[in-house]
Every structure is written in structure tokens, then in C-alpha cells.
């Protein structure tokens, strides 16, 4: 990974009105953890040495999460919701001395450090990198207008021509840019119907100043933004699918994968057999199994490390001292 310094700005000021909740949107959990936590982890793993979280006026829960988890991130407040560029500039003092900037969204919990590293590598040959995706239904997403290898504009659906609406490469919102491009942020205006400052306008400003702007494509599932309870359920399903696959690729056996549910920090060792209908709460790990293999049976496991096996009849089971874990007689 590049030795260039990198600032990650995570936009987390959205009120999430469509969630119909008193909980800040980015604090809704996926896999037992606030969505914001995954984004911070991905940014850190991608090499961001400095991080800033931009919150709204009513963000006590978000502040507490960042502080209580000892996450090394500065918190900045966007007092008025005047657009994404305005939100980024709420953290303007963090830009000093940074070679690169990543702009992420706190409601995209499935974004990976692998993708963010790709974006940073692309900055070796570009000034601005925009993440795109091809959804099954492009619907009303902004379209990425590419000419050759140059991304020339991000066109909002309402402003797009019929030909532009036919483009299926859409804007995921995630962006990376160099310090030179960051200096253009102050030139973004608000001459639009909403009177807001849009980060997407950086693309045309960079083009006008002769800078290289490129688009990278990501898996649509990875850039899923959560605005509703239905989308939260989709994110949870995708998270569980990813966690189950990782467990099995790591050597665990899941008899019925779709009925096993993991938390963000679940660790399952090699040769462990997980039977159907098991829920792993936060803080659970099961060590590698020596033959005969321990089996995790139907029930709920909570905090603890389970590294021993006991035998009942011909069945070896993980030792569990947790309320809510049930086994059948062997």
C-alpha cells in the first residue's frame, strides 16, 4: 500500500427519517454492530492514518460509539444539511498535510478495504477516483458519464438526457482524491434546485482544471446504502452470507448455513461443526477442534470463548456456560 498519507472522511449526518427511529441511521446494527463501525474498520484497513466522522446536530449516540470504542477519529458537526460537499468541508481542518482523501458514507456497512485500496492505487495515475456500480435496476441513480478513460461528469437522473439515462454505470457515492483536487472543494457552488453543495460537482471542476478523473467499478452488494428498514434487512442478509462463506472457507462445517447467524466478531475454528438454528451473539469464539469434533447445536451463544469439548454418549459438544444455549439429549 502507498506510503502517502490518507484521510478518511465518513459522512454520518443523515437523520434517517425513513427508518422511523430515534436512533441515528448509522447506529443501526448489522451483525450486532452499528453500521458506522464497519466503515471505520474498512477505512483503517485501507491505510487511512487519520479519520474524521461528520455528524449532525443530534448525534450523541454516534459520538459515544466513536469515543467508547477508542476509535481514533475526529468528530465534526455539520450544523446545517447543505449537501455532501458542505459535509466534507465541515472537516476541512483535517485536510492539512494529507496526500489523499477518501470520502465514505456511514450507512454502507458492506464496503471493503480491498475496494478502498483499489481506489487509493488508482490515485497514482488520477486526481479523482469515483466508485461506480451496475445495479440490476439503475432506476434514479446518478449516471457516470465516461469518455474513453476519463470520467467527465456525474449526471443526476433528473438532469440526464435519454441517452445518458440508458447508461447503467451508476454513482456509488464513494470518492477518493488527491490534495490538489481537494483544493477545488471550496469552488463548488450551490446553483441548483435545492441550493446545496454537491460533492459530485468536483468531477466537472477537476475536468475543467485539466485533472485526470476515473471511475472504478464495485460489486453492487458492496455499495448498498441503507435508508430504510427493508434495506437494513438486505444488508443483514448479505452480511450473514459473507460471514457464513468465510466460516466455511476457514474450515468450519455449517450443516444448514441459512439457519446459522453470526455476529461481527464471531470466530469459528477449523473442524468445528455448527448444526442448524444457532445464533452467535457478540463476543463468542470457538477454537479449532481436535478430533473427535465438537458440535455447536441449536440455541444461542453469548459472550465467551469455547475451547473444550465434552462427551454425552457418542456426541461431542462445545462446553457452554451461557443462558439461552440448549442441547438435546445424546
CA 264 to chain centre: 13
DSSP H/E element including 42: helix 35-45
What whole-number distance in Å separates Cα of residue 319 and Cα of residue 330?
15
CA 307 to chain centre: 31
What whole-number distance in Å separates Cα of residue 2 and Cα of residue 311?
52
Instruction: Output DSSP code: residue 170.
Output: E
Cis peptide bond prior to 165, omega within 30° of 0: no
Per-residue buried b or exposed e for 102-139, using 16+ beta carbons within 10 Å of the residue's own CB: bbbbbbbbbbbbebbbbbbebbeebbbbbbbbeeeebe
Q: SS3 letters for 298-314? A: CEEECCEEECCEEEECC
Catalytic residues: 18
Rg (CA), the chain: 22
Amino acid at each position: 500500500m502507498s506510503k502517502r498519507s490518507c484521510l478518511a472522511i465518513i459522512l454520518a449526518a443523515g437523520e434517517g427519517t425513513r427508518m422511523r427511529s430515534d436512533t441515528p441511521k448509522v447506529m443501526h446494527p448489522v451483525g450486532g454492530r452499528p453500521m458506522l463501525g464497519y466503515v471505520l474498520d474498512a477505512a483503517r484497513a485501507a491505510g487511512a492514518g487519520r479519520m474524521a466522522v461528520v455528524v449532525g446536530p443530534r448525534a450523541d449516540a454516534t459520538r459515544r460509539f466513536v469515543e467508547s470504542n477508542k476509535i481514533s477519529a475526529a468528530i465534526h458537526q455539520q450544523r446545517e444539511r447543505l449537501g455532501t460537499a458542505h459535509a466534507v468541508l465541515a472537516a476541512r481542518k483535517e485536510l492539512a498535510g494529507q496526500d489523499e482523501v477518501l470520502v465514505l458514507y456511514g450507512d454502507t456497512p458492506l464496503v471493503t478495504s480491498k475496494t478502498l485500496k483499489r481506489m487509493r492505487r488508482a490515485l497514482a495515475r488520477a486526481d479523482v477516483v469515483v466508485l461506480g456500480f451496475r445495479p440490476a435496476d439503475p432506476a434514479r441513480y446518478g449516471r457516470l458519464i465516461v469518455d474513453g478513460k476519463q470520467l467527465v461528469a456525474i449526471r443526476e437522473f433528473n438532469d440526464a438526457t435519454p441517452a445518458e439515462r440508458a447508461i447503467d454505470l451508476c454513482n456509488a457515492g464513494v470518492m477518493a482524491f488527491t490534495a490538489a483536487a481537494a483544493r477545488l472543494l471550496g469552488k463548488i457552488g450551490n446553483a441548483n434546485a435545492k441550493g446545496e453543495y454537491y460533492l459530485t460537482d468536483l468531477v466537472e471542476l477537476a475536468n475543467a482544471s485539466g485533472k485526470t478523473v476515473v471511475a472504478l467499478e464495485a460489486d453492487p452488494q458492496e455499495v448498498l446504502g441503507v435508508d430504510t428498514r427493508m434495506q437494513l434487512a438486505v444488508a443483514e442478509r448479505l452480511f450473514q452470507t459473507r460471514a457464513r462463506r468465510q466460516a466455511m472457507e476457514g474450515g468450519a462445517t455449517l450443516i444448514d448455513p441459512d439457519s446459522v447467524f453470526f455476529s461481527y466478531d464471531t470466530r469459528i475454528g477449523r473442524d468445528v461443526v455448527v448444526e442448524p438454528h444457532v445464533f452467535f451473539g457478540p463476543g463468542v469464539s470457538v477454537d479449532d477442534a481436535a478430533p473427535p469434533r465438537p458440535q455447536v447445536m441449536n440455541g444461542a451463544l453469548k459472550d465467551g470463548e469455547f475451547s473444550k469439548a465434552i462427551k454425552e454418549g457418542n456426541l461431542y459438544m462445545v462446553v457452554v456456560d451461557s443462558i439461552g444455549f440448549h442441547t438435546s439429549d445424546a
